[in-house]
Structure 1
Amino acid sequence: MRLPHAPARWLQPLPGLIAALFALLFAGFLLVTRGETETLRTAQLEQDMLWQKQAIEQQAEANREALLALAATLPGQDYTAPAFQARVLTLIQTNPEIIGLALHSGGPRARWTAPQARHTQPFDGKTGWGELQTIDGQPIVTYTTETPDHGNFVVATIALDVLLQHQVPWWLGQRYQVSLLGPDGRVLASKYQRQYDPGDKAYTVRLDKPPLALTLVARPYGTPRTLLADLLPWLLFILAGAMLASTWALRRHIRKREAIEVRLRSETALRLAMENSLVTGLRATDLEGRVLHVNRAYTEMTGFSSEALIGLRPPLPYWPPEEIERCQAASDAILAGRLDPNGFSVRFMKKSGERFDVRLYASKLIDGDGRHIGWMNAMYDITELRRERKALQASHERFVTVLNGLDAAVAVSDTETGELLMSNLQFDRAFGLPDWRGRCCIVPFVKRRTEPPVDAEWYDPFSKRWYQIKSRQSVWVDGSAVWLEIATDITALKTAAERERRQNETLQQTARLISMGEMASSLAHELNQPLGAIASYASGCRNILGSPDPNLKQLAQALDKMAEQAKRAGQIIRGIREFVQRRAPSRKRCEIGTLLDTVLDLLGHEIVRRDADVSLQQSPDLPSLYADPVMLEQVIFNLIKNALEAMDTTPPARRALAISLGRDGDYLRVTIADRGPGLSPEQLEQLFKPFFTTKDTGMGMGLNICRSIIEHHQGRMWVEANPGGGSRFIFTVPFSEEPDAIEP
């Protein structure tokens, strides 16, 4: 299978190789030609310069010989002879480089100067060639010869620049820039064409004959070439490059085309695989409704093969007889271009006769030239979707039924706008929202916050009812942030709580009265002491007054003692009245030590009667409390009284009552420990329940009331076993370290 393609692979790079070979050969030809041309130019330059050297040397020698001949013809001292003047004129005219001619008799000043001379140098007394000089920027040299009579000297001034200009022919000046250099290498004169630029290469030749060991230098000009001659090599190079580039581009295009064909085949296979993997049925028809193509999902939905469907026109075999009109109407609408963006809901029939619901969408089928050649249909099986929608509708109805059956009012509102999005029937009834309300906004019951969720109570002044408000932020079905609020009517609970509070107050008062009844004998003993002292002091006052000379100082002291005992009796009665009277709770600043002293004074007789050893341990500098002092006195009173009664069966030597007042962070910690028989685990579980008691004559309300009082003060009460026997009752209440604390 690969042999037919082998020549094609070799033929593809062949034009490129030929073009590359041509370019290489042509470049070699140009290099060789250029080298030969350069060699010829160099040889021509050497030949021209040798000729020019010879020409200059011959002219210098001719000038010298002409001057010698002129000096030989001078007849004695007669320099005015016509023959001599004619020779001078001829010499200067035929040799323009001779710019000065003078006759000297041995002195520096000339005896005679040729009228045609432009410049004359003084005589230095030497014959032959003189020193090189530059006068007014013009390089000159003198030649001096002596006349035959040895009486005169002919001095000629020769301009080297004029010599160079006249001795370099025009054709040589067109080729080279010719310069004459002095012995020091300085340029004395040059002949060049201003429109040409000399090259960097120079040829130097030294003049063998005088004057003054001069050097001749020639720099060839760039050879002027025609535009065609310059462009022709480049055009050939460009042509070769274009051939190479076109061959490379053609090869690249062929490779790209092959790659595109491979990708096209892969993409076609991928598209076919994607089309066949879709669960959506695809069908292509022409403008008349004739089926052109169906995918695998379409055939699986209908049960007909693609060969059976391609080429058919409506009516199609999967249209149920009972739905033929609806199917035909949908087909006519599509062919007429009346496309519904929501699709057409129709029912089709499988080859087995099973019916299924579909939604049919249609769009124009456009070919690669942009022409409308048919219609593309997408078919979705919505049978299961309809079943799920019905189930979802039923579930929603059940949810609404359950939501409307709640006693709590439920509402959902938008976080940003406050618009009411949903509410149940209880919410509408509780807050008077009509069914026809439309879109509306609700005002939050309480101040909202995200963390922690709101859990507060709210009183409705219109309906005069209390509600428990639970509010938290949530996410709605469209992803927006909403507030979910649940308002539960707790008016009945509030009423019951108030009733329970009044009952607790009654029970507390009853418990105090019972406690005072139980302590009647102790109170009578406490009152007997001040009353007996008053009676004794009254009898003593009578005796003092009955004496002939009463001692008034003793009488005053007795009266003061009577007043103190009366005041003590009044304090005992006032404390009992405050303890037992019924009143509302009233908090104020108080000291725990003072409260404990009051209770110990009330129970002092009981402590002595029961022979109990009371010890007190108190931390220094305890802050004040902000509490109801009478309630705390009742708690301490009940706990100490219970501790004394618990030690009835304890031997007197072990009856120890330990009271500890300490600080536990921001709380006061009070511990009352006894050495009684202790409590069993079953008793510990039910100890604070109403009507539970371990005494034969108790009501079972004391500890329950004590715990309620402590919890009312934001504290805590518990009981635990006392190491060594007995029990320890502990309660904590917060300190009030704020100077302006108020009643909550």
Structure 2
Amino acid sequence: MLMAILILPVLILLPWQSQKIEFRNRQEQLIADTLWVEQGIRFHLLRNEENLRFLGDTIIANSKVSEQLKERFSDLIESHPELQQLVWLDANDHVRYSTREFKLDDMSPLSQEAIEHARESRTPQYSEPAVQEAQDRAIFMDYHLPLFKDDQYIGSLVLTYKMSVILENMVPWWFAKDNQISLSDLDDNVFAQRSDGGYGRNVYTHSRSLNLSGVNLILKTNSIKEAPKLLSNYLVAAVVLMGLGLLWSLWALWRDILRRQAAETALREQIAFRSAMEKSVVTGLRVRSMDGELVYVNQAFCDMVGYREDQLLGQKAPMVFWASEAIESYKKRSSNSSNYDSLNGFETVYKHADGHRIPVLIYESALLNDDGEQTGWMGSILDISERKKSEQVLREHEERLESSARLATMGELASVMAHELNQPLAAISSYATGALNMMKSGNLDAEMLQPALTQMQNQAQRAGQIIRSVHGFVAKREPNRVPLQLMAIFNSILPLIKLQAKSYLIGVEIYIDDPLPDVLVDAISLEQVILNLTRNALQAMQELTLTQRILQIEVKRVDNYVLTEVIDHGTGIPPEVAERLFSPFFSTKSEGMGMGLNICRTIIEFHGGQLTYRDNPNGGTIFSFTLPLANPQAHAQTDTPIDLPTELPTDLPTDTQKG
């Protein structure tokens, strides 16, 4: 009780004393700041007076209006925004030079009185601020500097200040933000005022006289701050609430204890949940320390490699589940884990406890503690055995599709082949019959028989070339990518292209750069692409006139690729067809399977190239595919073309070669 009686007066007097101290501190701060501002204004005015005195000395020494003098007048005005103008008057008050257009009548009566007083007293004088009608009723104050040479008055320099700009440029922004500042005379006539933060509240005020020669200017400051409130510094509130704070602290302590118990319960549940989740996932998880020691594995990882947890924990390289053929790769990755992309992962092979290999995909990232320091590596391991089997099945399926597409293509060529083979066989039969008739007649002449046998040989080779091309095209075999010249591939596929073109009565133009660098390709797969694209081009032109039926094939090097273009002059590809052009099982032909272009694109992308198309400016479509060079650094770019001999039949309407 006694302590409460002692503390009560303190609690009552404390806010009043605090308010009084704060009021006094604010007032003292305002006085100090006002004094600082007053000194700043006086410093600027004295500096301008000194600069004007230097100009006056120059004029006394040389009264000519030189360009250098004009430049000094201009520099003084431009470097001090508060200066409105500078005028040089001679002894008869005629204007010798002015930075702005000036007439003596523009000078206020108060300024004219000041110039007379300065002349008589031979001392510089400030004029009383006055309104100038010609300057939008702005208030200006002139500073007059009389000039005397050998005790003879030779003129005056008049420096004009704009009162509002004095406050704008000579009072710092931080002071103007908290105070209303004004310049006035002894009768409280305000000449200039600045109140960036609002009008003063007449609580904290102070005045300072600038003590200028010839004029009494008063600098007044009026703070925008309110009087301090009783509990403005919260000191009393803190003391009063201290007791309540103690009770609140006890309550908060009890609350934190309950929260801690709840957090511990939640943590135990979370650990149990995590343990159950780790046991249920099929993804293998393992953690290794910075020195490569296994410190954690989950049950899925143990089942994957066939070892118990106690057999794996604590192991270092080489691990028991590492395959012998990949140990060096494991060691390299373990020592340089920071260089690998944790988003994409990497594939490798693990060895099961029973010895069989397991293809796995590993994602690994840094394991960090609460301080952000790395303590090890966390790895997620996926068994991709089933994915590998699916990929193998998919590859076999694609190979069957390619084989089916080649057989379908040959089905379309069957009738043309029959016609092509019938011609050499009929010729062979005719020449053989003629030779037999010569033998039966007994008039066997070797010179007459030799041309017939030569023609039989040529026709047999022609038929054999057709059969070999077809056999090589439809034969099933594993893809074999080897460095080849596209010239050789076109020579091989040329008989089949001729068969197609002849059936549609279409001419062929082939243009191939020479020399072309080698490309790494599977010849039969690429032949399928070329034959499919040329067949589509030929079918697109079957409705044209005979003179328009020209199939163009151009092959050239572009940077590190070889570009092949198959150009037709047909009707082009409608937009609705273009959207699904490369989709599987989409075809505009009633008898088509819709797999041709899709397989072609798959083959080209397998070779590292791209298959695209665009509209032909001359009508039709241009299909293009690129193939990367087998050795880009070993070949130089060349633009020398060579014609590929096509040996097209002479009975076609258009059958030319372009060079």
* TM-score (norm. length: structure 2): 0.52
The answer to whether the aligner puts 1:731 opposite 2:621 as a matched pair is no
The answer to whether the aligner puts 1:421 opposite 2:295 as a matched pair is yes
- When residues 620 and 297 of structure 1 are mapped into structure 2, their CA distance, relative to the original with a 3 A threshold, is farther
Give the aligned partner of residue 596 of structure 2.
702
Q: Deviations over 1:697-730 (max 9, x none)?
A: 1011111221222222222222232223322222
Give the Cα separation in 2 of the matches to 1:402 and 1:668: 54
Alpha-carbon distance, 1:460 to partner: 3.1
Give the Cα separation in 1 of the matches to 2:435 and 2:621: 52
The answer to whether the aligner puts 1:616 opposite 2:537 as a matched pair is no
Letter in 1 for 2:590: D
Give the aligned partner of residue 468 of structure 1.
361
Q: Deviations over 1:292-328 (max 9, x none)?
A: xxxx999845569xxxxxxxxxxxxxxxxxxxxxxxx
Structure 2 counterparts to residues 528-539 of structure 1, below 5 A: 528-539=422-433
- When residues 411 and 538 of structure 1 are mapped into structure 2, their CA distance, relative to the original with a 3 A threshold, is same
Alpha-carbon distance, 1:383 to partner: 4.4
Alpha-carbon distance, 1:637 to partner: 0.6
- Indicate which of 254, 257, 270 corresponds to 1:356: 254
Give the aligned partner of residue 564 of structure 1.
458
Give the Cα separation in 1 of the matches to 2:460 and 2:375: 75
- The answer on whether the counterparts of 1:537 and 1:559 sit within 8 Å (CA) in structure 2 is yes
- The answer on whether the counterparts of 1:684 and 1:719 sit within 8 Å (CA) in structure 2 is no
Note the residue ranges of structure 1 that are not aligned, 5 or more in a row.
1-272, 278-295, 305-348, 358-380
Give the aligned partner of residue 286 of structure 2.
411
Give the Cα separation in 1 of the matches to 2:417 and 2:575: 36
- The answer on whether the counterparts of 1:673 and 1:727 sit within 8 Å (CA) in structure 2 is yes
Alpha-carbon distance, 1:386 to partner: 4.2
Relative contact order higher in (CA < 8 Å, ≥ 6 apart): 2
Structure 2 counterparts to residues 109-120 of structure 1, below 5 A: none
Alpha-carbon distance, 1:669 to partner: 1.4
2:539 alignment partner, SS class: helix
Give the aligned partner of residue 505 of structure 1.
399
Which range moved further: 686-695 or 599-608? 599-608
Give the Cα separation in 2 of the matches to 1:610 and 1:412: 68
Paired residues, number: 380
- Indicate which of 636, 645, 662 corresponds to 2:530: 636
Q: Deviations over 1:653-689 (max 9, x none)?
A: 3333221212222222111122222223342232222
- The answer on whether the counterparts of 1:650 and 1:677 sit within 8 Å (CA) in structure 2 is no
1:418 alignment partner, SS class: coil
1:644 alignment partner, SS class: helix
Letter in 2 for 1:724: N
- Between the aligned residues of both structures, percent identity stands at 33
- What value does the CA root-mean-square deviation take over the aligned residues? 3.5
- When residues 726 and 402 of structure 1 are mapped into structure 2, their CA distance, relative to the original with a 3 A threshold, is farther
The answer to whether the aligner puts 1:520 opposite 2:394 as a matched pair is no
Give the aligned partner of residue 224 of structure 2.
none
Alpha-carbon distance, 1:639 to partner: 0.8
Larger CA Rg, structure 1 vs 2: 1
- The answer on whether the counterparts of 2:367 and 2:376 sit within 8 Å (CA) in structure 1 is yes
Letter in 1 for 2:299: L
- When residues 678 and 411 of structure 1 are mapped into structure 2, their CA distance, relative to the original with a 3 A threshold, is farther
- The answer on whether the counterparts of 1:643 and 1:657 sit within 8 Å (CA) in structure 2 is yes
Note the residue ranges of structure 2 that are not aligned, 5 or more in a row.
1-233, 323-328, 635-659
- Indicate which of 653, 659, 670 corresponds to 2:553: 659
Q: Deviations over 1:231-283 (max 9, x none)?
A: xxxxxxxxxxxxxxxxxxxxxxxxxxxxxxxxxxxxxxxxxx9xxx9xxxxxx
Alpha-carbon distance, 1:396 to partner: 4.7
- When residues 384 and 537 of structure 1 are mapped into structure 2, their CA distance, relative to the original with a 3 A threshold, is same
Alpha-carbon distance, 1:532 to partner: 1.9
- The answer on whether the counterparts of 1:613 and 1:657 sit within 8 Å (CA) in structure 2 is yes
Give the Cα separation in 2 of the matches to 1:399 and 1:685: 48
- The answer on whether the counterparts of 2:416 and 2:503 sit within 8 Å (CA) in structure 1 is no
Give the Cα separation in 2 of the matches to 1:618 and 1:495: 42
Give the Cα separation in 1 of the matches to 2:575 and 2:272: 53
The answer to whether the aligner puts 1:677 opposite 2:571 as a matched pair is yes
Which range moved further: 521-530 or 419-428? 419-428
Structure 2 counterparts to residues 711-726 of structure 1, below 5 A: 711-726=605-620
Alpha-carbon distance, 1:481 to partner: 4.6
- When residues 534 and 476 of structure 1 are mapped into structure 2, their CA distance, relative to the original with a 3 A threshold, is farther
- The answer on whether the counterparts of 1:459 and 1:466 sit within 8 Å (CA) in structure 2 is yes
Letter in 2 for 1:732: T
Structure 2 counterparts to residues 203-242 of structure 1, below 5 A: none
Alpha-carbon distance, 1:541 to partner: 1.9
Alpha-carbon distance, 1:634 to partner: 0.8
Give the Cα separation in 2 of the matches to 1:389 and 1:681: 65
Give the Cα separation in 2 of the matches to 1:473 and 1:663: 46
- The answer on whether the counterparts of 1:588 and 1:626 sit within 8 Å (CA) in structure 2 is yes
Give the Cα separation in 1 of the matches to 2:280 and 2:599: 39
Give the Cα separation in 2 of the matches to 1:720 and 1:608: 26
Give the aligned partner of residue 219 of structure 1.
none
- When residues 595 and 421 of structure 1 are mapped into structure 2, their CA distance, relative to the original with a 3 A threshold, is same
Give the Cα separation in 2 of the matches to 1:613 and 1:475: 70
- When residues 539 and 484 of structure 1 are mapped into structure 2, their CA distance, relative to the original with a 3 A threshold, is same
Which range moved further: 443-452 or 693-702? 443-452
Letter in 2 for 1:589: P
Q: Deviations over 1:362-393 (max 9, x none)?
A: xxxxxxxxxxxxxxxxxxx5544444444445
- Indicate which of 328, 347, 352 corresponds to 1:457: 347
2:447 alignment partner, SS class: helix
- When residues 534 and 429 of structure 1 are mapped into structure 2, their CA distance, relative to the original with a 3 A threshold, is same
Structure 2 counterparts to residues 394-409 of structure 1, below 5 A: 394-409=269-284
2:603 alignment partner, SS class: helix
Letter in 1 for 2:624: I
Letter in 1 for 2:303: R
Give the Cα separation in 1 of the matches to 2:572 and 2:298: 56
Give the Cα separation in 1 of the matches to 2:357 and 2:578: 42
1:606 alignment partner, SS class: helix
- The answer on whether the counterparts of 2:284 and 2:304 sit within 8 Å (CA) in structure 1 is yes
Q: Which runs of 4+ in 1 moved over 6 A?
A: 296-299
- When residues 461 and 424 of structure 1 are mapped into structure 2, their CA distance, relative to the original with a 3 A threshold, is closer
Letter in 2 for 1:466: P
Letter in 2 for 1:439: G
2:282 alignment partner, SS class: coil
* TM-score (norm. length: structure 1): 0.46
1:584 alignment partner, SS class: coil
Letter in 1 for 2:607: H
- The answer on whether the counterparts of 1:411 and 1:485 sit within 8 Å (CA) in structure 2 is yes
The answer to whether the aligner puts 1:483 opposite 2:377 as a matched pair is yes
The answer to whether the aligner puts 1:687 opposite 2:585 as a matched pair is no
Alpha-carbon distance, 1:623 to partner: 0.9
- The answer on whether the counterparts of 2:305 and 2:350 sit within 8 Å (CA) in structure 1 is no
- The answer on whether the counterparts of 1:476 and 1:482 sit within 8 Å (CA) in structure 2 is no
Give the Cα separation in 1 of the matches to 2:507 and 2:602: 29
- The answer on whether the counterparts of 1:588 and 1:628 sit within 8 Å (CA) in structure 2 is yes
Give the Cα separation in 2 of the matches to 1:605 and 1:677: 23
- When residues 677 and 393 of structure 1 are mapped into structure 2, their CA distance, relative to the original with a 3 A threshold, is farther
